[in-house]
Amino acid sequence: MLDISFIAALTISALLLAWVWARRRGSRTGKRKGGKPGQSGRAARADESLDTVQSWTPQAVRVLTLPERQAYDLMRKAMPNRLVLAQVPLARFISVPTRHSYSDWLTRVGRLTVDLLVCDKSSRVVAVVDMRSAAQSERSIRRHERMTQVLQAAGVRVLHWNAEALPSAAEVRALFREQGVEVEEELVGPHGKRMLPVPEMMEVLHEGDAFAAATPQLEPVSSDYFDDLDALAPRGAAPRP
């Protein structure tokens, strides 16, 4: 006959194995239902039933910080003939091939926003102004460096400004002139007041129109083009649950 202690040990081991197996199966089921790790299916369904507006009461806040507003005003003063935009996400003006998952790229850098985006009057990107601060965390620094790598790979000029010591308008114009950007000189009247520039008259030739029509326009990325991210998954890859 078997020893009673041996039978008890076998019973306890079987119970432990059954408990571990049931816990792992429950965790996998929760993940397949879209819940958080360790969250039951009932809790996941409760999260889905939350109202978007009632459960997360929206409140409008400022778009720019004080240093960003000062930098924006400075850029508008230094480059009045340029289009200056603030807090623009990379996905709005950077196009990437879709042979890999666009949602993965969007998660890595696509949602990062540039502080100031300088464009010409036709909305072509001229440069990006990246605001840096001495109080930045290491995580923030790495995020800015990753964003800079993407912009430089796309051929976009990146200017790093110290939020605590912004350049003057004259320094900004000189900096852009060094980068090969055409800068409109500031006109000062007899009483020291800034004057609006008067555009020169020029003849528009037929050849110029034909050249402009043949030049790629580089249209911006549509705001709803990547709404259905699953449609852009790599060919032959199974859709993610």
Contact residues for 114 (Cβ-Cβ < 8 A; gap 6+) = 87, 88, 90, 128, 129, 130, 147, 151
Residue 130 has φ and ψ, to the nearest 5°, of: -110, 115
Q: What is the pTM of this model?
A: 0.61
Distance (Å, whole) CA 221 – CA 73:
27
- Tell me what pLDDT residue 216 has: 57
pLDDT in tens, 4-18: 666 666 677 777 777
- Tell me what pLDDT residue 227 has: 52
SS3 content of the chain, % helix, strand, coil (to 5): 45, 15, 45
**What is the CATH number that goes with domain 64-182?**
3.40.960
Would you state the structure tokens that stand for residue 202, as one six-digit string? 């020029």
Distance (Å, whole) CA 173 – CA 167:
10
Whether residue 57 has pLDDT greater than 60: yes
pLDDT in tens, 82-117: 999 999 999 999 999 989 999 999 999 999 999 999
- Tell me what pLDDT residue 200 has: 46
The full set of domain ranges for the chain reads: 64-182
Q: Is there a contact between 156 and 128 (Cβ–Cβ < 8 Å)?
A: yes
